[in-house]
A and B are shown apart, each in its own frame.
Chain A
């Protein structure tokens, strides 16, 4: 069965890039533009991995991570951000992985594979 991913990023182009590339990897991919959309999707569905951007309008990925953890501490989350500086923030440590964004999605794909392998 295909693994289900949920990818949140406020940039439309990036969302489309991730969707295409991750679907090519064989995943089922849902996308969200902000925290509200993520929380709404979580009400009706379950995801094997959630990939969160940190800087999003409204609730940040860090606050959203906390909300997700409050619902389900076992939900794997990957933080995918342009800023390496949040790596030291304790609030990001519950994430399974911290990926610094680049045009190349190799690292993100690797992180997703690793998390899924750990779950299996």
Chain B
């Protein structure tokens, strides 16, 4: 473990049900929804921890299941050595200080105060399990110490119109947080940039003593939603506590760094499509900051000209193709294919996400669609070209992405 983290404890809050990601979360917990073909969403935060040099992690969850347990065991357990006091532990609600399940993000930590007592860390690094970004948390912690903060909130600039779903901050020249509003109807802009807002990434460093006091106070506050963004942070800010924003920037490109909250089907789709840009905004190929996962055993991906006599060539453009995929005499463009996907002769797949084992039949057309694991598209069928027809059978998102749940019978 990197020395700076020796007095820190890292807690990843991954307790949400992920209802807005239904049907992706029908069979698996939200942190283990597949992302970017071969990864699970949680792999990004865990890779950040691991690459930052953090080796003591609690993962708070309440909708764990076989997929989650298995993924953590296969992909992550081997990286943590018990002999070195390293661990990655999953913590469901303990039902000690409460009879209930977790009510909100703050409640999930409140219900685990005994864990904080056991480790007695000086600082608690609180992370979320459903964000896609690459961040060195040691810099965040250094910043927290330099500022003498009680709480530091990692912050990123985004379009003001998109800030309505976020915690929006106002800061002074020293980055001290002066205002904090969760999900404002009219998000405040950054001074000098009327169309931009500074939003919380849901990544925090707290001085532990302050955190514990605030959690206890919040637990006794009637009407509190037990939420960091809605209750704990606004209260600290309005009490004049030293709360600072850490500007998350891409130093190399001198711009706000890439960060996405995978909360909805549309944000999930958009973040996957970010990966197929010719110059992707998030680089999965950076050996200095690898995103780890468990790949499983699959043969190499295969793209074949199986139907030369029909004049159909297997062609893939601007796409991520995972191991075990076979694309024969079909066109795949701007798409993300998980392992073991089949795209058959004459089919066309564009701007789509095909999850594990999906199968696109001959001459079928799939456009702006999300196929859940194992979905079979029959020969000649079309998806994503007629929203009204799709709406009768499938889920069509606000942004017009057609989503076909696993097990759909044609």
A residues adjacent to B (C-beta < 8 A): 66, 69-70, 73-74, 89-91, 93-94
For the complex, is B116 an interface residue (Cβ under 8 Å from A)? yes
B95 to A, closest residue via Cβ: A70
A70 x B220 contact (CB < 8 A)? no
B212 x A74 contact (CB < 8 A)? no
CB < 8 Å neighbour of B212 from A69, A70, A73, A90: A90
B97 x A66 contact (CB < 8 A)? yes
* Max chain A C-beta neighbours (<10 A), residue from B113, B116, B208, B213: B113
Residues of B near A66 (CB, < 8 A) are 96-97, 114
| A70, B220: Cα distance in complex, Å | 11
B221 to A, closest residue via Cβ: A73
B117 x A89 contact (CB < 8 A)? yes
For the complex, is B99 an interface residue (Cβ under 8 Å from A)? yes
Residues of B near A74 (CB, < 8 A) are 220
| A31, B233: Cα distance in complex, Å | 41
B220 x A90 contact (CB < 8 A)? no
B220 to A, closest residue via Cβ: A73
B124 to chain A, nearest CB (A): 11
B98 x A70 contact (CB < 8 A)? yes
With A66-B96, A70-B98 given, is the CB distance from A91 to B114 under 8 Å? yes
For the complex, is B219 an interface residue (Cβ under 8 Å from A)? yes
| A91, B115: Cα distance in complex, Å | 10
- B interface, size bucket: 10 to 19
Q: Could you show 11 A-B contacts with beta carbons less than 8 Å apart?
A: A66-B96, A69-B97, A69-B219, A70-B99, A89-B117, A90-B116, A91-B114, A93-B113, A93-B212, A93-B213, A94-B216
With A73-B219, A73-B220 given, is the CB distance from A91 to B98 under 8 Å? no
| A91, B96: Cα distance in complex, Å | 11
B111-159: which have CB < 8 Å to A?
113-114, 116-117
A94 to B, closest residue via Cβ: B216
| A74, B114: Cα distance in complex, Å | 19
Residues of B near A69 (CB, < 8 A) are 97-98, 219
B113 x A90 contact (CB < 8 A)? yes
B116 to A, closest residue via Cβ: A90
Residues of B near A73 (CB, < 8 A) are 219-220
| A70, B113: Cα distance in complex, Å | 13
A32 to chain B, nearest CB (A): 21
| A111, B95: Cα distance in complex, Å | 30
B99 to chain A, nearest CB (A): 6
Residues of A near B98 (CB, < 8 A) are 69-70
- 3 pairs of A and B residues whose beta carbons are closest in the complex: A90-B117, A66-B97, A90-B212
B117 x A70 contact (CB < 8 A)? no
B111 to A, closest residue via Cβ: A70
CB < 8 Å neighbour of A93 from B95, B99, B216: B216
Additional A-B contact list (5), CB under 8 Å, known A91-B114, A93-B216: A70-B95, A89-B117, A90-B116, A91-B117, A93-B113
* Max chain B C-beta neighbours (<10 A), residue from A70, A90, A93: A90
Q: Per-residue 0/1 for B89-100: is the Cβ within 8 Å of any A Cβ (1 yes, 0 no)? A: 000000111110
| A13, B113: Cα distance in complex, Å | 34
Q: Per-residue 0/1 for B197-238: is the Cβ within 8 Å of any A Cβ (1 yes, 0 no)? A: 000000000001000110010011000000000000000000
| A93, B114: Cα distance in complex, Å | 11
